[in-house]
Amino acid sequence: MRLPGTRYQEHGWEQVRKLLGQCSLGAFAGPGLDDYIDAMSAALSRLGSRFDGPGNSYGDTVRDLAFTLLYELQARSGDWAAFCTTLPSHPGEALLRKKFNDMYATLRDKVDSDNYQAACGRVCSPNRIYAYRMLDTAYHEIARLFADWRSHAAQVGAILGRDIDAAPIEVRQMQSIAGCRPEWILRWSASCDGPLHTRSKRFDALKDNPAKIGAMLAEIAEYEALSANRDADWRVDSGAALDWLDDYQRVMAAPEEAAPGPDRILEAQQDELDVVEAEMEIEIEIEIVEADPASMLLAASVSLPPGFMQMARLAEDPASWAARVMQEDGLPVRLAVYAKLTGPVDDVYPDAWCDPATGALPTMQQLAVLAGVSLPTLRKRRDAAVARLMNAARP
């Protein structure tokens, strides 16, 4: 399923989820979020190329998506704290994997609901994203039943609301989700104790409400048709993608006298589908893996080329705004800041900044060694530098 702005709603998500779960088993060592993030970054950087396949139809790889979600987690320490409180003191591997699966499944819908709001300006809760996905899944299930209507005549009859003897015309007419009628979704759910017929309050706003279901189906269909003949989001990587910064600066600096009063600030709007339930345990099966590649990957060396610091310094632009703000911090701290803010892999980084073994900026462990400080000290200095940059960037 594709929706405006979303990145984690297609089939590739399954692989992203598995990758994050697998690496987490090796990377998790306690409630320290920074420890976890650094260990995960190192594990993801060192993975082989088999995770560089597409994770969605916008051209993001499975690894890209795992990284992005990890960085979102870094910015949401409250979610991490909540996650840690639900863990028993010595969780077994299967339970730990399931907990990580649940946490990332929840996080992806939070991230995608924000993506959706930024893309189309409409209020959207994580549970609404979940509801879109439920409807999309229901449509595919109905399409599957329709395709083999002879074997499922009773259920297809229940969905269409009449007895079936010959091939129903609806079977041929439903070419896409655009042709799926909301009543069919409701009757399908009734026919199998589906998601709209449980005691869960999650979809209360949709129960017995074909108009709302129809509007959501139409939205999925419309965007799928629109995005089908469009390639990857061209704005993400080109320099023009940052032109909005100039608009932002201009808008923030415009003379205030011309502005009318009073402030036109929106009240926080409640999404009627914004249902928070205690059990967010969704569509996740526990799987048993034979090997634990993450722990093997984590046993990596700190080795960098001998001349790394010198070459990396030469590659810096001392006149740049960021370098000036962080002048006193030293190169390892600056690299740690870049890795935190824009990720360890980015083609704008000079080659001299990257570990030739990984093509990424050095890990926090490597940088701590380079800086001659402990890992916690490096993190403190990095976060202080980020705070100074934030102050410099936000007028």
Partner 1 sequence: MKPEDLLERRLRAAMLTASGVDHDCLVLADAVMLAAIDGSCPLTRGERAALAASPLTIRRFRTLSLDYAASLKPAWRESSGMLRAADSGAALTELVTDDGYWTLHFLAARDAATAPRVILQLHAQAPFARQLLADQPLLRVIDGAGAVVLQGRLDPDGECESAWPFDAPPAQHFQRSGAVFAVEALPG
Q: What angle do CA 198, 284, 280 make, to 5 degrees?
A: 55
- Which string of x and - marks every residue 206-245 that binds partner 1 (by CB under 8 A)? -----------------------x-----x---xxxxxxx
Shortest distance, CB of residue 299 to partner 1, whole angstroms?
Answer: 31
Residues 6+ apart with CB under 8 A from 356: 305
Q: What angle do CA 366, 42, 78 make, to 5 degrees?
A: 110
Question: Under rule CB under 8 A, which residues in 239-278 are in contact with partner 1?
Answer: 239-245, 247-248, 251-252, 254-256, 258-266, 268-269
Based on the shown chain and the rule CB under 8 A, indicate whether residue 314 belongs to the binding site for partner 1: no
| Helices and strands, counts by H and E, the chain | 17, 0
Rounded alpha-carbon distances, angstroms, from residue 382 to 328, 335, 378:
12, 9, 6
Nearer to partner 1, 28 or 116 (CB): 116
Based on the shown chain and the rule CB under 8 A, indicate whether residue 321 belongs to the binding site for partner 1: yes
For 20, the 3-state DSSP assignment is helix
Based on the shown chain and the rule CB under 8 A, indicate whether residue 144 belongs to the binding site for partner 1: no
- For residues 386 and 391, what is the distance between their CA atoms, to the nearest angstrom? 9
Q: What angle do CA 184, 185, 188 make, to 5 degrees?
A: 80
Cross-strand pairs, 61:
54
- For residues 251 and 244, what is the distance between their CA atoms, to the nearest angstrom? 10
Applying CB under 8 A, the span of 112-120, 149-157, 359-367, 371-379 interacting with partner 1 comes to 112-120
Nearer to partner 1, 350 or 376 (CB): 350
Nearer to partner 1, 30 or 395 (CB): 395
Nearer to partner 1, 160 or 361 (CB): 361
Based on the shown chain and the rule CB under 8 A, indicate whether residue 280 belongs to the binding site for partner 1: no
Nearest of 68, 81, 22 to residue 48 by alpha carbon: 22
Rounded alpha-carbon distances, angstroms, from residue 310 to 212, 305, 316, 319:
62, 10, 10, 18
Alpha helix locations (H) across the chain?
13-27, 33-45, 62-75, 77-85, 93-120, 126-147, 153-160, 169-173, 182-191, 210-228, 244-253, 293-298, 308-314, 321-325, 331-342, 364-371, 375-393
Applying CB under 8 A, the span of 14-22, 28-36, 70-78, 200-208 interacting with partner 1 comes to 70-78
Based on the shown chain and the rule CB under 8 A, indicate whether residue 292 belongs to the binding site for partner 1: no
Nearer to partner 1, 165 or 256 (CB): 256
Based on the shown chain and the rule CB under 8 A, indicate whether residue 303 belongs to the binding site for partner 1: no
Shortest distance, CB of residue 317 to partner 1, whole angstroms?
Answer: 4
Q: Which residue among 33, 123, 171, 178 contacts partner 1 (CB under 8 A)?
A: 123
11 close to 136: Cβ distance less than 8 angstroms: no
Structure tokens at 373: 């400080």
Applying CB under 8 A, the span of 73-81, 98-106, 201-209, 373-381 interacting with partner 1 comes to 73-81
Shortest distance, CB of residue 211 to partner 1, whole angstroms?
Answer: 24
Phi and psi at 61, nearest 5°, equal -80, 165
Based on the shown chain and the rule CB under 8 A, indicate whether residue 341 belongs to the binding site for partner 1: yes
- For residues 208 and 206, what is the distance between their CA atoms, to the nearest angstrom? 6
Shortest distance, CB of residue 159 to partner 1, whole angstroms?
Answer: 34
Interacting residues with partner 1 (CB under 8 A): 72, 75-78, 111, 114, 117-119, 121, 123, 229, 235, 239-245, 247-248, 251-252, 254-256, 258-266, 268-269, 317, 320-322, 338, 341-342, 346, 348-350, 386, 389-390, 393-395
